[in-house]
Structure 1
Amino acid sequence: MAIQDDTTDPTSAGTTRQATLARVWADVLGVNRVGLDDDFFVLGGDSIMAIRAIVEAETRGVSVNLADLFERPTIRQLAPDADEAPHAVETPRSTQPVTQDLVSPDDAAKLPPTVERAYPATHLQQGLIFEAMLHDESLYHDVISRRITLPFDEGAMRRALEALSDRHEALRTSINVTDYSMALQLVGRSAVPPLRTTEARGRDAAEFLRADVAYASEPFELEHAPLLRVAVTVLSEHSFQLTYGFHHAIMDGWSENVFITELMSRYAAFRLGTRPAPADPLPDMVRFIERECEAVESPASREYWLARAADVPAVAEPTARSTDRHRLSVPIPPDMRERITAFGADTRVPTKSILLAAHLAARHAQYGGALPVTGLVSNGRLEEAGGDRMIGLFLNILPLAVPVVGDTVQFVRQVLQAERDAFWHRRFPYAEMTRLSGRPLVDTTFNYVHFRMERQLRSSGWLQGGSLEIYDKISFPLVVDAVQDPDSDELRLDFSADTAVWAPDQLRTIAALHSEMLERICRRQSSEPIPDAR
């Protein structure tokens, strides 16, 4: 792999430091060449891949900060200085003990002997639990069901679940919000997820699968780990349905991909009587809690979000709420995907930011030209070796309000800059923002989803295509997910709306506005303004 520069021979361009970064980026992103002015995110990178690139660069002697990578996403911007040979560094040690002073001595003294360790619940965990207690205990209880094309071995599955529980603290964690001076996460010494099995070979499996979903959907007692349960219905000698329910407070979407990938790799090994491949060590979860505490105490982050909150118009509280959802999925046609890619290459704007700009423009048009606001779902995983393999809840909601001014290219770049500005303060909890401002700041969220780890599972042949079923309940009135298929260029927009707030025809109108704004942006006519209203 050679670093590429438009003005010089690609085999001789760049300093040693730049060439090292180019090799790292090429390896992480799976591309053949990386130019000095190629944007990491336009090439297909995201926050998870950025963590991998930073860790790998560190092992090769080049230090890069994650926030710097978001602010200066080309090699020329990141490493503009004179040549600097990579220095030898130790691989980041993720298993060093962490000095734990986040739990008071009085609380520590009250911990039962079954608890291995404890640390504070995050603001987002507390928020999810509060919303469920206030509205419906089924909120933020996710159920996933997948068709697995392997013979079922109950002993191997139990061993795989036990191995995963030993590796990931989140799978042994309960959350207590009443018995201590603060809400605490309590990590049990042992808490293997329960497994229920059903035999349905030669019978109509539909009734059994409905029973599995009902079992996985049963409410959890948050004070008792694990907050995960598993059901299997054996369909034939060569396939079974794997259904599992978990509380969102212990597992976000990327973590679910980690869970199913590691579970099935261990299951496959145990079923064949072999030992799973050794797993790399994971960072300590306490470090994530410490980063959030530091953000809450940061004057710069507090002032930044107070200023952003002052710009955000008031959010109208719905007069009625429901946990039922209208859902609509809109595939983005191939020709539009090509135009998004071309627009991104021309303007050096990542696909995620183009889709976010279309979302904000749609909200601008929907509300008659008002300042568009959304809650951007942000990842706050640790920038350490293994940070991308942790199971837990590492998300935050970042309110973004971007005035729709100028032409389409200017607007899209303003959206990208707003993302970059917010990224420096991404760990400041949304719950703390709302507390400081005295009101909710968003009623809609936007999330760009690209679970590349799913590719590993699909390539194994174990996962039957089209068999994934997801059942979830969330509290935001409107949720928009831009979903990138991990195996192809396929892209779609998924809309989920509270049935008490939005009618089906209104959701269809919202979806149509998103398609229209995406079409306008990707016409590549920079002089064309975003419309004020439909």
Structure 2
Amino acid sequence: RTEVERTLCEVWEEVLGRERVGVADNFFSLGGDSILSLRLVSLLKARGLLLEVRDIFQARTIESLVPRLRGVASEEKDVEPFALLSEAERRLFDEDVEDAYPLSALQAGMVFHTQLEEFSGIYHDIISDHVRFRWNRGAFEQALASCIAEHPILRTGFRLDGERPLQFVRRQGALPLQVEDLRAMSEQEQEQHLASWTEAHKGYVFDWEHGPLFQIHVFLRSDESFQFTISFHHAILDGWSRASLTTALYNRYESLLQGETLQDEPVDRTYRRFIAAEQKLLADSEAKQFFASRLEEAPTRQVPRLKVAAERQAGAPVRQGVLRLEGLTPISDRLIALSMSMGVAVQSVLLAVHYKVLSSLSGRDVAVSCVTQNGRPESEGAERGLGLFLNSLPLAMKVEPASWRELIQKTADLTSASVGYRGYPLARIQQDLGVAFDEVTFNYTHYHVYNDMEAAGETQLEVLESSGFERTNFDFHVDISRGLGRDVLFLAFVYNADLYEEGFVQRIGAYYLRAFEQLLEDLDAPHLAAPLLDESELSQLRDSRNATVVAYDARPVQQQIAEQAQRTPASPAVVCGDVTLSYAELEARSNRLA
């Protein structure tokens, strides 16, 4: 084999943790994913070999990647401080600020929705771990200060009063740490206190400019354990970043308690590079055309709304429902093994079922969903950077008659085709097309960065239990997460409870589980061969088709409208184009005519 192939094999072995990799081995069959593909690309670049993440997704094997190599990677010029601002914008900041750049499109959207909902909890994430380990405030503060110095996003504030929203990085960051001693309380009293604190803190009003945009609260529960709670606005941290921060903080804290000295880490500039890449991509006509052509027939409403949303008072939060289903866990290992045998990402198998269910719910052969994508730049160490590197890409797929295997492969091809445009913001796509894709979103997470806690050595710190709160502006969110150190998948639905009943969401969840079971039973069977409905639903459908007698209310229509206006005055009665009249408005107009 050639020297280039040997180099590629060595880098794959390092990234994937394999003793030996062959040129025909599939990246995804060996456990690769989007985060690991970033590390792979950056390590190859350091050895003078230039590839992009899209190459990994499309070629998948070393022998297929070799022809895609674009020669020796040239030295990239880094983005300088303040380089993304105009002269007028630079003059807004004093010497206490070391850098500034625009907000990303997703950051701006999250801030907008938070203010629109009047800080009712939307995009305010609260994640809490019950940790078994001894507490030392001095060591913890030192570990936290080290993380804040390394990552500019932890010293960031927002300025929203100019021509465009900006974020700035302070030279020094305060320690947003609060400690509360609960050791005098019983375990039940502690749980009640923590639940009350979390509920009250959901409505925390962020001071965008002065901060802090994240806080850490430690509740001492015993001499051997404490509750670690990180509360932050989603505009500064995505899920991987939060997991990476927690891992680094725990590792550094434990090192200090073992008497070790922390080494100064270089300041990470990954997020500034991400913003620069997005600014450049906004003018990409190829990306604009890609989504325009793929979303031409995409429906904007797919999940039937069996409820009419009640009119909310200003500032009142959307009622959020969360449904967690255990049925995916027992078949997780088989689904992961199936993805590896097909040489596709685990996400592709899960997404295929997602599109299948959406198509079944809407009765259309085209399904669309926003899919959470990792948009980190393809630079060295990007997987360790902190920030909001996500994008929700609206991806549409035609769910045509085919086998389950073909449906999964089609989904994998869709992902591979879109990965090169993963940084083109959802807000810009919606602006380009004049369509809002805010109904359904899908997210698959595998936070294997937590494995770094074990890799750091014989760790004594143990996470006993974790919990979390987060809220988005999407109406129907499908979340599948993968456990650590074992092939276990967890399925959850986060939904707008003003639009969907829990029982209806449970039925939808059953469709997902039934589809997973069907593809595992026979991968080459047509995905249309068996219905997703259960026997009771099929029986109800048969009965409704055979029912030919319909009882109609014989009372005058105006009387029925008047009674309905008394029962649900705010519900829609007449819809014509962009005009909607509620029952109360229709009743009032009919009375005026009478």
In structure 2, which of residues 96, 101, 112 is the aligned counterpart of residue 114 of structure 1? 96
Amino acid at match of 1:523: E
Contact 1:191 1:225 in 2 (8 A): no
Partner of 2:553: none
1:125 to 84, 88, 107: 107
Which digits, 9 at most, give the CA deviation of each residue in 1:86-141, with x for residues without a partner?
Answer: 98x89x789x5626432121121122443222110010001111112222412100
Give CA deviations for 1:246-285 in whole Å, capped at 9, x if unaligned. Answer: 0000000000011111112222233344312453553343
RMSD between aligned residues: 2.6
Per the alignment, residue 324 of structure 1 pairs with 319
For 1:505, the equivalent position in structure 2 comes to: 503
Q: Tell me how far apart the structure 2 counterparts of residues 41 and 455 of structure 1 sit (CA, whole Å).
A: 19
Indicate whether 1:486 and 2:484 are aligned. yes
Q: What is the 5 A alignment of 1:110-259?
A: 110-137=92-119, 138-178=121-161, 180-204=162-186, 205-210=190-195, 212-213=197-198, 217=202, 218-259=204-245
Give the deviation of 1:360 after TM superposition: 0.9
Verify: 1:390 aligned to 2:381, yes or no.
no
CA contact (8 A) 2:24 2:62 kept: yes
Q: 1:195 to 1:465 in 2, by over 3 A?
A: closer
Choose 363-372 or 522-531, whichever is displaced more: 522-531
Structure 1 counterpart of 2:486, which letter?
S
The 3-state SS of whatever aligns with 1:311 is coil
Counterpart Cα distance in 2 of 1:525 and 1:232: 49
2:358 is aligned, of 358, 363, 385, to 363
Distance in 1 separating the partners of 2:143 and 2:339: 42
Pick which of 405-414 and 119-128 moved more: 405-414
Structure 1 equivalent of residue 556 of structure 2: none
Give the Å deviation of 1:33: 3.1
What is the deviation of 1:319?
Answer: 4.4
Whether 2:405 is the aligned partner of 1:423: answer no
1:37-81 per-residue CA deviation (whole Å, 9 max, x = no partner) reads: 222123211111111112222333433222211221111110159
- Does 1:286 find its partner at 2:281? no
Please give the secondary structure, in 1, of the residue aligned with 2:205: coil
Change (3 A) 1:227 1:333: closer
Q: Structure 1 runs of 4+ off > 4 angstroms?
A: 316-322, 332-335, 458-463
Consecutive unaligned residues of structure 1, counting only runs of 5 or more, are 1-13
1:440 partnered with 2:423: no
CA distance 1:235–1:334, change in 2 (3 Å): closer
* One-letter code aligned to 2:86: S
Task: Kindly provide the amino acid, as one letter, of the partner of residue 36 in structure 2.
Answer: M
Q: Is the 8 A contact 2:371 2:442 kept in 1?
A: yes
Give me the whole-angstrom Cα distance separating, in 2, the residues matched to 1:116 and 1:278: 18
Q: Which moved more, 1:235-244 or 1:26-35?
A: 26-35
Judged with a 3 Å threshold, the aligned counterparts in structure 2 of structure 1 residues 499 and 466 are, in CA distance, closer, same or farther, namely farther
CA contact (8 A) 2:481 2:489 kept: yes
How many residues in Structure 1 have an aligned counterpart in Structure 2?
515
Question: 1:323, 1:474 within 8 Å by CA — same for their partners in 2?
Answer: no
Maintained 8 Å contact 1:161/1:192: no
Answer whether contact 1:366 1:513 (CA < 8 A) is retained.
Answer: no
Distance 2:444 2:426 in 1: 18
SS in 2 for 1:313: coil
Q: CA 1:438–1:80 in structure 2 vs 1: closer, same or farther (change >3 Å)?
A: closer
Q: Single out whichever of 437-446 and 380-389 deviates more from structure 2.
A: 437-446
1:235 aligns to what SS in structure 2?
strand
Aligned equivalent of 1:353 = 348
8 Å Cα contact 2:183-2:221 kept in structure 1: yes
State the secondary structure of the residue aligned to 1:421. helix
Q: Out of 502-511 and 153-162, give the one that drifted further.
A: 153-162
Equivalence for 2:28: 41
Task: Tell me by how many angstroms 1:208 deviates.
Answer: 4.0
> In 2, are the aligned partners of 1:193 and 1:226 still within 8 Å (CA)?
no
SS for the counterpart of 1:467 is: strand
Separation (CA, whole Å) in 2 of partners of 1:186 and 1:211: 34
Once the two structures are overlaid, the 10-residue window that deviates more, 186-195 or 429-438, is: 186-195
* Letter of the 2:403 counterpart: D
Question: Which residue of structure 2 aligns with residue 55 of structure 1?
Answer: 42
> How many percent identity over aligned positions?
28
Gap change, CA 1:257 and 1:291, over 3 Å in 2: same
Corresponding residue SS for 2:355? helix
Structure 1, residues 186-213: CA drift from partner, whole Å, max 9, x if none? Answer: 2122222421111222422224423553
The 1:298/1:502 distance shift into structure 2, 3 A limit, reads same
Deviations 1:285-316 (A, max 9, x none): 32211111111101101111222232212338
User: Could you report, residue by residue, the CA deviation over 1:488-509 in whole angstroms, capped at 9, with x for unpaired residues?
Assistant: 1111212111111211111111
